[in-house]
Amino acid sequence: MPSAVSLPPCAAWQEDGGDVVLALSGDWKRDGPPATVTGISPDRHPSRYQVSELGSYDSTLPAFLFSLLRSATELPETKDKPVPALDGLPENLRGLLTLALAVPEENARLTTPLHSSEIRELGKITVQLWETIRSLLDFTGQTVLSLARFCRGKARFRSADFWLILQQCGAQALPIVSLISFLIGMILAFVGNVQLTNFGANLFVADLVGIAMVREMGVVMTAIIMSGRTGAAFAALIGSMKVNEEIDALQTFGFLPFDFLVLPRLLALLLMMPILTVYANVVGILGGMLVGALVGIPPVLYWTETLTSVDLTNSSLGVIKSVFFGAAIAISGCMQGMKAGNSSAAVGEATTRAVVASITAVIVLDSTFAAIFALLKI
């Protein structure tokens, strides 16, 4: 629609025999220029409005007037605020403004934001850190209690849920675990081969790949994959159940949310992590064997060499660690889900935190194990 030339919006304060008049003119449009205010603004409401030169307007005009009236009403701290006069305004504007100004004052939430300072921030961070540590300990303690209830046959969860979770974090993780382990085995073999050929000892690639896979790489890579895959899924699912009050509903039926949600996930990971780890180790060694074949080590020779270095002690270390990593992943994922806030944004945050927390936990645990094994000279 072709419109006439639009005039800039303007509000002018005028005196008219003791009365304060606000003269409004021009076109008040969202996409137009900002309004100019002229004249000295008095500390009170206008007693009248002058709108003879007012053009077309949208919500910008009532919004402008509303903030003007609001800021003036806030001056006197009295209970009975004067009702501002709206004389002279067009009928439709007056109706809307009356409605907007009639919001009961009690309903407008008055919050005084705390002034933040560096010291306060530091204190807050310290308190938060302490809270995090405490809730982690608390959650781990609850997990142990829940496991104890399970052993006494008192924990209640749906067995159908358990089988489903077992499938999700077992069979369905196989493709990605296979791919990553195979590639890691190959990479180790390539790197080892380049160095060991210098000494004419490239047969020892088999030892290197074997030991590295079963002691470290197999279990750590599996744990990292499971953190990203399963830990995140746990946090997202439990978090969204929290948001929808589904966990409250469990509780009011007398189910213990902890047994119902955390326990089957923990058990599933405790069971599946060792199996996946053994599988990853084998696939990694096969990857190394492929590279070996490419650089001239016959597979049979590669296999016998692997068997001489990978003994039961070495290969059990990874499997033992996998149980702890599994627990760490399940606890991080479920804990972040249970702690999630009450909005859907909180679910996303919980998922991210679950992944970060479980990968960190896995690496920290792994270094602890490395130190312990070194001390024990295993």
Partner 1 sequence: MPARITIKNLTMAYGSLVVMRDLNFEIQDKEIFAIMGGSGCGKSTLLRHLIGLQEPTQGSILYDGRDFTATDPAQRGPFIQRFGVMYQSGALWSSLTLGENISMPLEEIAHIPAKTVRDLVSYKLSLVGLAGYEDYYPAEISGGMQKRAGIARAMALDPDILFLDEPGAGLDPLSSRRLDDLILRLRDSQGSTIVIVTHELSSIFNIADKVIFLDTATHTQGALGNPADLRDHSDNPAVRLFLNRGEHPTPPP
Which of 127, 156, 194, 296 contacts partner 1 by CB under 8 A? Answer: 156
Amino acid at 132: T
Which of 98, 195, 197, 251 contacts partner 1 by CB under 8 A? Answer: 251
Cα→Cα distances 343→237, 250, 329, 346, Å: 13, 19, 24, 5
- In whole angstroms, the minimum distance from the beta carbon of 100 to partner 1 comes to 17
Residues pairing with 62 in the sheet: none
Are the C-beta atoms of residues 76 and 38 closer than 8 Å to each other? no
Binding to partner 1, residues 158-187 (CB under 8 A): 158
- In whole angstroms, the minimum distance from the beta carbon of 256 to partner 1 comes to 9
Is 113 among the residues that bind partner 1 (CB under 8 A)?
A: no
Of 44 and 158, nearer to partner 1 (C-beta) is 158
Instruction: Tell me, rounded to whole angstroms, the distance of Cα 199 from its chain centroid.
Output: 49
Q: Single out the segment in contact with partner 1 by CB under 8 A; choices: 43-51, 79-87, 173-181, 246-254.
A: 246-254
Is 313 among the residues that bind partner 1 (CB under 8 A)?
A: no
DSSP per residue, 197-225:
HTTT-GGGHHHHHHHHIIIIIHHHHHHHH
Binding to partner 1, residues 223-242 (CB under 8 A): 237, 240-241
Which of 75, 144, 174, 249 contacts partner 1 by CB under 8 A? Answer: 249
Is 254 among the residues that bind partner 1 (CB under 8 A)?
A: yes
- In whole angstroms, the minimum distance from the beta carbon of 308 to partner 1 comes to 50
Of 169 and 291, nearer to partner 1 (C-beta) is 169
Amino acid at 203: L
Is 17 among the residues that bind partner 1 (CB under 8 A)?
A: no
Is 131 among the residues that bind partner 1 (CB under 8 A)?
A: no
- In whole angstroms, the minimum distance from the beta carbon of 217 to partner 1 comes to 35
- In whole angstroms, the minimum distance from the beta carbon of 228 to partner 1 comes to 22
Rounded (10°) angle between helices 218-226 and 174-197? 150
Is 245 among the residues that bind partner 1 (CB under 8 A)?
A: yes
Is 246 among the residues that bind partner 1 (CB under 8 A)?
A: yes
Of 30 and 152, nearer to partner 1 (C-beta) is 152
- The sign of the CA dihedral 342, 343, 345, 347 is positive
- In whole angstroms, the minimum distance from the beta carbon of 242 to partner 1 comes to 11
How far apart, in whole angstroms, are the C-alpha atoms of residue 122 and residue 126? 6
DSSP per residue, 98-160:
HHHHTS-TTTS----PPPP-HHHHHHHHHHHHHHHHHHHHHHHHHHHHHHHHHHTT-----HH
How far apart, in whole angstroms, are the C-alpha atoms of residue 88 and residue 91? 9
The single-letter DSSP state of residue 163 is H
Is 149 among the residues that bind partner 1 (CB under 8 A)?
A: no
Cβ neighbour number for residue 225 with a 10 Å cutoff = 18
Q: Cα 4–68–58 angle (5° rounding)?
A: 30
- In whole angstroms, the minimum distance from the beta carbon of 253 to partner 1 comes to 5
- What track of x and - describes contact with partner 1 for positions 86 through 105 (by CB under 8 A)? ------------------x-
Which of 150, 162, 190, 255 contacts partner 1 by CB under 8 A? Answer: 255
Is 106 among the residues that bind partner 1 (CB under 8 A)?
A: yes
Assigned token pair, 141: 């303690």
- In whole angstroms, the minimum distance from the beta carbon of 162 to partner 1 comes to 13
| Binding stretches for partner 1 (CB under 8 A) | 104, 106-107, 156, 158, 237, 240-241, 244-246, 248-255
